[in-house]
Amino acid sequence: MAAHLGMKIYSWNIYSHNRETDRVFDFIKKSNFDVFCLQEVQKEFLEQLRTLPYHLAETVDKDRLFRTVVRDHLVILSRYPIEHVGTIPWEDYWPILPLRTRIFVALMRPLKWTKIKNRNGLYVDVTTPYGSVRVFNLHMPLARPSLRIREFEQTMFARDPGRPTIVCGDFNTIESWLTSPLNWLVGGTPGDAILYRRERTRIEEHFVAHELVNPLRGHVTHAFAGSQLDHILVSNSFSIKNAAVLPDRYGSDHHPIKVEIS
């Protein structure tokens, strides 16, 4: 089945404080995609997305606890019918964070950092002309690397062995010495900060173990992080025709990414 399947998949963290939402919407509207996974979508923008001629599934990305609750959404847009929608509720990791992390988050409040709760992953089964594909949309936390890898493994429990798999999302995998101290500040070990390439090595091993291909390995999708935070993983039964990090960020701190498979 996969050998004859042609799909263009996009993934993008559009940034919840994006002030260029008109450009964002225009870019999405004009993109020739089969599946588009979006993270950090605000309620008003979600309603705009509902006007597009695509099938749509959504769930809560996370709740950010300012004086009022600010809710982000995960969204999957599909050219093809969505036959099933599922969510993956993540554990509340805030109670296990060390004191240094709580202090760091409080100091970063002017940059919109805050306590978060009610985190979820999203997946759908998409009925293509060539068969059914399960698509995941994830937004992993900027927390200790071991937590991100654990959530990836929890995602793999929701796979369907009868369907090929596509996993999209912002994995927050840090692999640059400039930003690796964040791994310790947000709850990791000193080794997580010093051995800044270790998480990439480990998570790629998990990809291989689950027979998933990362076509954009080695590409930077977030300029400040200097790392591949954003991913589109595909079952190794697919052939990769094209993979790219798009140059314009349209007001986000992340670049959109796309992968074309056949």
The domain limits of the chain are 2-261
List all residues 6 or more positions away from 190 whose beta carbon is below 8 Å from its beta carbon: 184
10 Å CB burial of residue 118 (0-12, 13-18, 19+) is middle
10 Å CB burial of residue 202 (0-12, 13-18, 19+) is middle
For β-strands 165-170 and 131-139, DSSP reports them as parallel
Pick the CATH number of 2-261 from 3.60.10.10, 3.40.50.2300, 3.40.640.10, 1.10.287.3510: 3.60.10.10
Give per-residue pLDDT as tens, 17-68. Answer: 999 999 999 999 999 999 999 999 999 999 999 999 999 999 999 999 888 8
Cα–Cα dist 181/179, whole Å: 6
The three-point CA angle 231-234-239 to 5° equals: 125
Whole-number CA gyration radius for the chain: 18
Q: pTM of the full predicted structure?
A: 0.94
Tell me how far CA of residue 241 lies from CA of 9, 73, 77, 182, 262, in angstroms: 11, 30, 21, 35, 7
10 Å CB burial of residue 129 (0-12, 13-18, 19+) is exposed
- pLDDT-derived band at 1 (thresholds 50, 70, 90) equals very low
The pLDDT value given to residue 58: 98
Q: Is 237 helix (H, G, I), strand (E, B) or coil?
A: coil
pLDDT at 3 over 60: no
